[in-house]
Structure 1
Amino acid sequence: MSALERLAAALEPLGELRRAEPLARHTTFGIGGPADLFLTVRSGEALGRALTAAADAGVPVFILGSGSNILVADAGIRGLVIDNRARAEQLDGLTVRVESGASFAAFARRMCRRGLDGLAWAVGIPGTLGGAVVYNAGAYGGCLADVLRRVRIQEPSGRAEWVDAADLRLVYRGSRFTRGELRGRAVLECELELFPGDAADLVRRAAAFDAKRLAAQPRGRSAGSTFKNPPEAPAWKLIDAVGMRGMRRGDAAISEKHANFFVNEGNAAAADVRWLIEEARRRVFDRFGIRLETEVEFVGAWT
């Protein structure tokens, strides 16, 4: 019996397990080849046990939140993909604990309706709380670091412990996770400290952010903003300046509405999206000497 088969047997009690699951079904891009094993978990306990089982079997793991902010290779992902739907939530005054598979946007909306301030800017952000921690998600002048107090992280050994937010060294669209300093570790749970607010006012502010986002960003299948904004200028403006707004390769395209959104207009291949990303990066550097950094993460079996 192979390591993958032994792992599959250990995972069966923890959630819904599928083999050769097409990841295009689970990403906001609608792109991505199959996962060898695909496990859906619905509790932090099951997530932790699955991570421990994979470590014991020596099988690589990728934790999938809502499938935003990633481009999965056409060949898919080898090993185990965990579809994290652990969403338990505990509220104690202004402090809230929430598991890492909770939708960030839906959580932010609930907090607004409860009159808890600090996350109105997040109501349109795709992804999970776990992903928001990893990338220090932010918009409209706010970011998760403003309200994050601590996170519970599982070590490769299976031991879990609370880590203060300051120890994650959160920066613009980055953290110790994105810099590779916490490789093999996973966010199980977050604790946030919010502020008292007026529910009606917060709902109005959230609606205004929704309207602003809808006016500026394209509809359809994408991973969100493709590049981080460099200090010199917004990424969309640089891409527009090198003549790539609306450029296509197969069914992959750079949005006419917002040049920092790369979209799947049919049955786009991951390789074509990546070609557009690399071409935009090359042209911007050749013309302006600015190296664009991606927000979108390339995951899976790229050749």
Structure 2
Amino acid sequence: MSAIERLAAEVSRFGELRTAEPLARHTTFGVGGPADLFLTVRSADALAAASAAAADADVPVFILGSGSNILVADAGIRGLVIDNRARAESLDGTTVRIESGASFAAFARRMCRRGLDGLAWAVGIPGTLGGAVVYNAGAYGGCLADVLRRVRLQLPGGRAEWVDAADLHLVYRGSRFTRGELRGRAVLECELELAPGDPAELLRRAAAYDAKRLAAQPRGRSAGSTFKNPPEAPAWKLIDAVGMRGMRRGDAAISEKHANFFVNEGNATAADLRWLIDEARRRVFEAFGITLEPEVEFVGAWT
């Protein structure tokens, strides 16, 4: 029996297990090849147990949230993909604990309805709380670091512990996770400290952010902003300046509406989307000497 087969037998008790699951069904780009093993879990404990089992079996594991902010290779992902749907939530005054598989946008909107201030800016952000921690999600002058108190992490060896937000070194679209310093540590749960607010006012503010986002961003299958904004200029302005607004490769395209959104307009491949991303980086560097840093993570068997 192979390591993958032994792991499949072990993790099937933690959730719903499928083999060769097409990841295009689970990403906002709508692209991506199969996962060797695809396990859906619905609690932080199940997530922790499955992660630990994969580590013990020496099988690679990738934790999937909402499938935003990633571009999965056409060849898929080897090893175990854990579809994280752990969403339990508890509230104590203005302190909220929530498991990492919860939708960040839906959570932010619930907090506005409850009259808890600090997340109105997040009502349109795709992704889960776990992903928001990893990338320090932010918009319109706010970011998760403003309200995040601590996170519970799965550690190598099967242990879990609470880590203060300050120890994650959260910066613009980055953290110790994105810098590779916390490899193998899964985000299980988050604790946030919000502030009292007026529900009607918070919902008005959220609606204004919704309108602003809809006016500026294209609809359809994308991963949101493709590149981080460099200090010199917004990424969309640099991509527009090198003549790539609206450029296509197959069914992959750079949006006419917002040049930092790369979209799947039909049956795009991951390879075509990555070609556009690489070409934008090349042209911007040649024209301006600026290296665009992808906000999208390239995941899976690219080579």
- The runs of 4+ residues in structure 1 deviating greater than 4 Å are none
Q: How does 1:1-303 map to 2 (within 5 A)?
A: 1-303=1-303
Distance 1:11 1:59 in 2: 12
Query: How many correspondences in the alignment?
Result: 303
Amino acid at match of 1:211: A
Amino acid at match of 2:153: I
3-state DSSP of counterpart to 1:109: helix
Query: Where in structure 1 are there 5+ consecutive unaligned residues?
Result: none
Distance 2:160 2:245 in 1: 46
3-state DSSP of counterpart to 2:301: coil
Amino acid at match of 1:152: R
Distance 2:41 2:88 in 1: 12
3-state DSSP of counterpart to 1:153: strand
Distance 1:200 1:175 in 2: 33
Distance 1:12 1:219 in 2: 37
Distance 1:153 1:77 in 2: 23
Distance 1:276 1:151 in 2: 36
Amino acid at match of 2:295: E
Please, what TM-score do these two structures have when normalized by structure 2? Answer: 1.00
Q: CA RMSD in A?
A: 0.4
Distance 2:184 2:23 in 1: 21
3-state DSSP of counterpart to 1:200: helix
Distance 2:80 2:12 in 1: 13
Distance 1:157 1:100 in 2: 20
Deviation at 1:13, TM superposition (A): 1.1
3-state DSSP of counterpart to 1:253: strand
Identity of paired residues, percent? 89
Distance 1:261 1:12 in 2: 37
Please, what TM-score do these two structures have when normalized by structure 1? Answer: 1.00
Query: Where in structure 2 are there 5+ consecutive unaligned residues?
Result: none
Measured against aligned partners, the alpha-carbon deviations of 1:29-69 in whole angstroms (never above 9, x if no partner) come to: 00000000000000001001001110111100000000000
Deviation at 1:114, TM superposition (A): 0.1
